[in-house]
Structure 1
Amino acid sequence: MSGPLPERLPGGYRCRPAVLADADAIHRLAAACERERDGRAVTGADRISAELTLPGVRPESDTLIVYDGAGGAAGFGWVRGQRARVQVHPAHQGRGLGGVLLAWAETRAREQGSDRIAQTVSDTDRAAAALLRACGYSRLVMEWLLEIALPDEPEVPDPPAGITVRPFRHGDEQAAYRLTEDAFDEWQPRRKSYAEWARHTVERVTFLPAASPVALAGDQMVGAVLSLDAPGHDEGYVERVAVRHDHRGRGIARTLLWEAFRTFHQRGRPACTLWTHSGTGALSLYERLGMTVRRSSTVYCKALVTD
């Protein structure tokens, strides 16, 4: 059964819940938004498919696609617990679709039992930020997309004494899950289930084990970098970086990152990117490696009042 749909849409628009077959259309919408805001598209098509099939997500009630009279995707909304994503195609902005989708997302989050809702907005999208502030949202954390150019093959520092480094291989999934979720427990609002974590990482078609080195102390995984390599992109992408608490400060993350960067260079990728945010405290680590900020985003949050 689908959830409630918006009562009013601007003239000429219709809406319905999204289905997996809409993933390509939603990806084109997301790419158009990124090109308009930031000059290039970075979201992979497999990320959209992953979001539509996350454990616990019911597309029939947790998603909404708005389309115009020609059947093109004009807007999209997605809600899962306290997280939401609302996007409006650049050609359809300024017509009230963002407000409709935002109101729908808040209603759906309340129905899911959430007492707050958050979404990420590029700092170049001033209209979206203004809408969120007008609707009672406030800044929660900052996020940065960092990049590093790889014109030459990087030199990889030796790992610390007692640590061995090798590429990710089949059978590492559960250890990598525990390691990264333990590390992220410090700042993420909730711990992901293995199924949700895997859908975002090792189950994505763009997951690249060769550029995903892990660090071992004996037979214990104490560090990991998990990377993606999307077809058609000229740069690699690091999805996760984690080091076990009792092994931090030893240079493990630095070694793993340079190992991943070297693999991307060898695969013909002249640059690599990753996201971090203010809750992790890792920005200075990446800057010491020579990474620079390409662009930034803000996570906005709002407490939801229930009737």
Structure 2
Amino acid sequence: MSAISDAPALPPDLATRPLRASDSAEVFEVIAAQERHDIGTVEIEEEDLIAEWQRPSYDIEASTVAVLEQADGRERIVAYAELMGHDRYDAAVHPDVRGRGIGTWLAAWARDLARSRGASVVGMPVPEGSPGDRLLEGLGYRVRWTSWVLRLPAGQTIEERPLPEGYALRVATEDDREQVWHVLEDAFLEWSEREKQSLDDFAAEVWLRPGFEPWQLQVAAGPNGAIAGAVFSTMAEGNGAKETYVARIAVHKDHRNRGLAQSLLVAAFESGREHGAVSSCLSTDSRTGALTLYEKVGMVTDSVWVNRAVDL
């Protein structure tokens, strides 16, 4: 694959620089404009960016690029990209500046940076059939896996399942947090090919995320008091109304097939409604095998995403 020097040059009226933490609001607006244009809803929140950028292991200056243009006497960010980990990047181009080679340049930037860090493959999620999907397909990127954003239809709830004897649902305490980290991370690593996230990085994205409230992290405790499962949800307001988004949910392998995941999901969505949410959603992908579980409890697919990747 080509390096940046072999990619089409950016138009001369555009400049680049690394992102700064203070750019979160402007980058959010670029991503939101792209999502609104491509799928009709906004799935990103500014708090998502802040949480990811504040991870102790993340070097924002070394891992990001902003594309800027002059407008009304000031520079504004019109596109960006960031290498999120060893083999995954995110990028967005404002719909107003599409067709100028920016997306192609950003893809080359991401390939070059990932290659320099020893990656053998790199990819990013894009809405299926979107301009970004078509661009990456044209550049030779293959589909690694498929993801779905699912929502509960308006007015619908998930049927409650009684907890097995000896189990209890409750809001996580500070003393639970290290166990929650292990349960969620270990479960995700059963199908995700990456290193285990450090406790400090995990904390930055969960209980140190801007706006975090204790009710957003709930656990299922087992008969011996150990954490058997956990769910972390956020409150989104990107589409004009509050919505509960389940960001992470998992059950320890020793406690599965007992209905704990459904009980945790019910608890998260009910808590969200108690705090003003009028809808509920989550996302899952083809590596987890969980799509049928969510469909069985009444959730329906709202948008489909593909993770497109290329060998380096």
The answer on whether the counterparts of 1:17 and 1:61 sit within 8 Å (CA) in structure 2 is yes
The answer on whether the counterparts of 1:139 and 1:299 sit within 8 Å (CA) in structure 2 is yes
Q: What corresponds to 2:186 in structure 1?
A: 182
1:137 equivalenced with 2:145 (yes/no): no
Counterparts of 2:164 and 2:310, CA distance in 1: 44
What is the TM-score normalised by the length of structure 1?
A: 0.92
Query: Which of 226, 237, 240 is the matching residue for 2:232?
Result: 226
1:244 equivalenced with 2:243 (yes/no): no
Counterparts of 2:8 and 2:150, CA distance in 1: 41
Counterparts of 2:50 and 2:145, CA distance in 1: 26
Residues 182-204 of structure 1, C-alpha deviations (whole Å, 9 max, x = no match): 11111111121222222222221
What is the TM-score normalised by the length of structure 2?
A: 0.90
Counterparts of 1:26 and 1:115, CA distance in 2: 28
The answer on whether the counterparts of 1:140 and 1:300 sit within 8 Å (CA) in structure 2 is yes
What code does the residue aligned with 2:17 have? R
Counterparts of 1:294 and 1:171, CA distance in 2: 37
Could you say what secondary structure the match of 2:104 adopts?
Answer: helix
Q: What corresponds to 1:17 in structure 2?
A: 18
Compare 253-262 and 56-65 and name the one that shifted more: 56-65
Task: Work out the number of aligned pairs and report it.
Answer: 300
Counterparts of 1:131 and 1:289, CA distance in 2: 35
The answer on whether the counterparts of 2:237 and 2:243 sit within 8 Å (CA) in structure 1 is no
Counterparts of 1:56 and 1:272, CA distance in 2: 31
Query: Which of 239, 243, 246 is the matching residue for 1:235?
Result: 243
Q: What corresponds to 2:64 in structure 1?
A: 63
Counterparts of 1:51 and 1:169, CA distance in 2: 23
Counterparts of 1:273 and 1:192, CA distance in 2: 24
Aligned-pair CA distance for 1:55: 3.2
Unaligned runs of 5+ in 2: none
Unaligned runs of 5+ in 1: none
The answer on whether the counterparts of 1:153 and 1:265 sit within 8 Å (CA) in structure 2 is no
Aligned-pair CA distance for 1:163: 0.8
What code does the residue aligned with 2:275 have? R
What code does the residue aligned with 2:148 have? W
Counterparts of 1:63 and 1:105, CA distance in 2: 9
Counterparts of 1:50 and 1:112, CA distance in 2: 23
Q: What corresponds to 1:37 in structure 2?
A: 38
Aligned-pair CA distance for 1:151: 2.8
Q: For residues 153 and 83 of structure 1, do their structure 2 counterparts lie closer, same or farther at Cα, with a shift above 3 Å needed?
A: closer
Q: What corresponds to 1:98 in structure 2?
A: 103
